[in-house]
Amino acid sequence: MNVSFWYSIAIIAAIMALLLRQSLWSTRLRFSIYNKHYHPSRVRPILLQALVPRRYLGSLSFLHILLIIVFIAGNGLATGLTLEGPENLRQRAATLGSINLAPVFIGRRVYANRIFGASKQTYHLTHSCLGLVGLIQVTLHVGIAIRTHTLSIVQDCYLFYTGLIILYHWETADLTVANRKDQAPSTDRASSLFFLVQDNSSRVKNDTEILLDGPYGCNKHPEKFETVVLVAQGRGIAGVLPVALSIALIGRHDRITRRIDLQWKLDLNDQEEWAEERLQGLINLDPHRSLFAAHLYYPRLRARSLKKLAIPEKHSKQWNTFRSSHNESMNRIRRNIVAKSRYAGHMIVLACGDKDFTQQIQSFVFRLPTLAEFSHIEMPSSSHTAEPQGLRIDILDKREAFEEVEGVFKFTKTVIIFKSGEEIYHAAVPSSEPVSSELSETQLINKLLVPTAAYKPPFSCTFTRAPDPLPTDTYIKTPSLLSYDQIHNGPQPNQIADDVLNEVRICELLRESPHPNLAKYIGCQVSDGNISGICFVRYGKTLMEAVNPRGLMKRKFSTTHRDLGDFGRGLQGIQAGIAHLHSLGIVHNDINPSNIMIDGDEWVIIDFGSCRKLEESLVGVGRTYEWYDEAIQHSCPENDLNALLEIHTWLRGAPADAFQFTE
């Protein structure tokens, strides 16, 4: 239903008004209140005489009748000849009806007599035929226009109607989306349909059923909030992108929203390709850089360079990419939500991801000091088919694994740590399988049970127990189990637990000899007599986050020529902290920008898991790629001092050949 429909309604209303007026006028002339001779036979021909006066009906010549037949037949042929469907018939009927009715309202008998020399009989005959045929054509147009319509494909989350809602007859039906262009129903309007599908030929086949899901039925109307924060995990980006797009397409004067903050934590770096086109579309919808701000968190990579979204230079302050661990990403998301909650007006947070992810975001939003609303966007399962029976898993940590194949590093699998019941497992997922909490036991390979003794050493009474409950500004460091598959068959299957004990001993030593440039140790978190975590004071952000938020490789970062201000005092503090460690006979062995926290004006060294005494072996000790000399395999002060010099070179933007360590 469009403008032509309402135009037809107006024409019919005008015709009915004229007929009623002429009928009433004829009745008034023939039957006044002073005429007492009323008879029903006088009333019957009134409507007919309103269209064609009775005195002209009996005097029609053969030529008049022939012209009437030709006129009606010509209109019929013009209306129904070579039709291509009901839509084409509706348009023709509206056009011809408008042409026929135009002279009825415009022409007058006096003008017709003067211009064409037509008689009264010819004028009334022409006038009546045009009116009757035009009325039939308009009625045909209206009947087709208000018929039942079938919806084909709907873009994004909303339906828009051009007519009054009460004029629609609502019915329900099963909708099937065709996956072939030639099977899709043709429409007279252009539309776009986007699917975020992982590149996996074994799962995407012809006639595959696809589940279309969205926040239907529980629309929170985010456009009515001044600040909208959209948080997504992995493929959950498919749930929040339509919300961002729908708000952006609303006129600035029709929405309250002034800022949309998008937070996307990618499970795999390849997931960026799923939404790259839509993200670029959001950037183009914000040419003045006033509506969108986005933060993309990529998993850490050590074996290959990171491909990131192509962000225009003028949008670089609003669109940021990071390379960080799971905990670092969650901390960044929390800090951004806190920052947005301080904006003027009301805020709503919409999250789409796995159950644990959305529950963490919801719990954090509810603890905010300012009032904010939270809404969960349901994330559909990865397949509409029946789910294989087996073990449902709770993923705790994951990492992409790359292997050298014919001289080229290729992504081969995803290593995961998951929990089932009270047990912790190490397993891998083939590169052809998507990684989510919907995984079943049949999709896992190389599954290993991780015994408690392998990562939770016993708590000693000589150690410091962390208070219960913990202070609000506490950071809990837990051991990483991603390398357990390489350890469990070796000579030291409990090496992870031994490393935890070693770090606790270092922390206890630093607790007795503290230093302002070394992280403050609170104590051990204990569970069933075992150490489950090491507690430290939480600091603001790392040096890497402060000066290199996009996570560029150090040689790439040195070409950005950013003004970093005066960092001399901070480096002096780090040097003092290193000197204090060396005075205790300890070498850190992993000094890098991600292990330096900024706390106000002070810089603080964290992560003592790689600390070893002088001349100890560093075989099996985790260190950060491109920030150490791979040729040195023992603990010595030069490891820390050379790393500090590398950081100084990195901060001052030196050329690529000025660095000591290779990438």
Q: What is the mean pLDDT of residues 139-151?
A: 68
Residue 583 predicted with pLDDT over 80: yes
Closest CA to 428 of 455, 456, 402: 402
Q: What is the mean pLDDT of residues 275-291?
A: 82
Q: What are phi and psi of 263, to 5 degrees?
A: -120, 115
Residue 375 predicted with pLDDT over 60: yes
Residues 517 and 565 in one domain: no
Closest CA to 226 of 271, 191, 260: 260
Which DSSP symbol is given to 272?
Answer: H
- Written as one string, the DSSP assignment of 439-502 is --GGG-EEEEEE-GGGT-PBPPTTSPBPPSSPPTTEEEE----TTHHHHTTSS-TTHHHHHHHH
Residue 208 has what pLDDT? 52
Q: Is residue 207 part of a domain?
A: no
345's CB contacts (< 8 A; 6+ apart) are: 225, 226, 227, 256, 258
Residues 556 and 645 in one domain: yes
Residue 607 has what pLDDT? 93
Closest CA to 135 of 3, 19, 55: 19
Q: How many beta carbons lie within 10 A of that of residue 146, not counting itself? A: 15
Residue 50 has what pLDDT? 45
Residue 517 has what pLDDT? 95
By the 8 A CB rule, do 439 and 415 touch? Answer: no
pTM over 0.75: no
Task: Tell me how many degrees the CA angle 19-25-28 measures, rounded to the nearest 5.
Answer: 140
Residue 437 has what pLDDT? 60
Residue 509 predicted with pLDDT over 70: yes
Last residue in a domain, options 132, 154, 173: 173
Q: Is residue 182 part of a domain?
A: no
Tell me how far apart the alpha carbons of residues 496 and 456 are, in angstroms, rounded to a whole number.
8
Residue 114 has what pLDDT? 57
Residue 305 predicted with pLDDT over 50: no
Residue 25 has what pLDDT? 60
Residues 290 and 318 in one domain: yes
Tell me how far apart the alpha carbons of residues 169 and 220 are, in angstroms, rounded to a whole number.
26
Residues 431 and 557 in one domain: no
Residue 301 predicted with pLDDT over 90: no
Tell me how far apart the alpha carbons of residues 141 and 99 are, in angstroms, rounded to a whole number.
14
Q: What is the pLDDT of residues 432-485, one digit of tens each?
A: 566 666 666 677 888 899 999 999 999 999 999 999 889 988 999 999 899 898
Q: What is the mean pLDDT of residues 642-657?
A: 85
Q: Is the peptide bond before 86 cis (omega within 30 degrees of 0)?
A: no
Q: Is residue 658 part of a domain?
A: no
251 vs 22, residue with greater confidence = 251
Residues 522 and 642 in one domain: no
Residues 533 and 587 in one domain: no
Tell me how far apart the alpha carbons of residues 661 and 643 are, in angstroms, rounded to a whole number.
9
Angle between helices 637-651 and 568-583 (to 10 degrees): 170
Residue 647 predicted with pLDDT over 70: yes
Q: Is residue 663 part of a domain?
A: no
Range of the domain at 419: 394-449
Tell me the CATH number at 312.
3.40.50.80
Residues 265 and 124 in one domain: no
Which DSSP symbol is given to 165?
Answer: G
Residue 212 predicted with pLDDT over 90: no
Last residue in a domain, options 376, 404, 424: 376
Q: Is residue 187 part of a domain?
A: no
Residues 76 and 115 in one domain: yes
Q: How many domains does the chain have?
A: 5
Q: Cα Rg for the chain, rounded, in angstroms?
A: 39
Q: Is residue 569 part of a domain?
A: yes
Tell me how far apart the alpha carbons of residues 384 and 439 are, in angstroms, rounded to a whole number.
14
Q: Is residue 235 part of a domain?
A: yes
Residue 154 has what pLDDT? 42
Residue 567 has what pLDDT? 81
Task: Tell me how many degrees the CA angle 371-376-378 measures, rounded to the nearest 5.
Answer: 175
Q: What is the pLDDT of residues 26-83, one digit of tens each?
A: 555 554 444 444 444 444 444 444 444 445 555 667 777 787 888 888 887 877 766 6
Tell me the CATH number at 627.
1.10.510.10
Task: Tell me how many degrees the CA angle 169-171-177 measures, rounded to the nearest 5.
Answer: 125
Residue with tokens 């809990």: 476
Last residue in a domain, options 405, 432, 449: 449
Residues 527 and 607 in one domain: no
Q: Is residue 469 part of a domain?
A: no
By the 8 A CB rule, do 280 and 310 touch? Answer: yes
Residue 43 has what pLDDT? 40
Tell me how far apart the alpha carbons of residues 7 and 20 are, in angstroms, rounded to a whole number.
20
Q: What is the pLDDT of residues 79-129, one digit of tens each?
A: 776 666 677 778 888 888 888 888 777 655 555 555 566 676 677 777 778
Q: What is the dihedral of CA 257, 259, 265, 269, to 10 degrees?
A: 110
Residues 158 and 17 in one domain: yes
Residues 284 and 365 in one domain: yes
Q: What is the pLDDT of residues 523-561, one digit of tens each?
A: 999 998 999 999 999 998 999 888 887 777 777 777 665
Q: What is the pLDDT of residues 598-616, one digit of tens each?
A: 988 889 999 999 999 999 9
Q: What is the mean pLDDT of residues 214-233?
A: 77
Q: How many beta carbons lie within 10 A of that of residue 314, not counting itself? A: 11
Residues 145 and 28 in one domain: yes
Tell me how far apart the alpha carbons of residues 225 and 222 are, in angstroms, rounded to a whole number.
6
Residue 300 has what pLDDT? 64
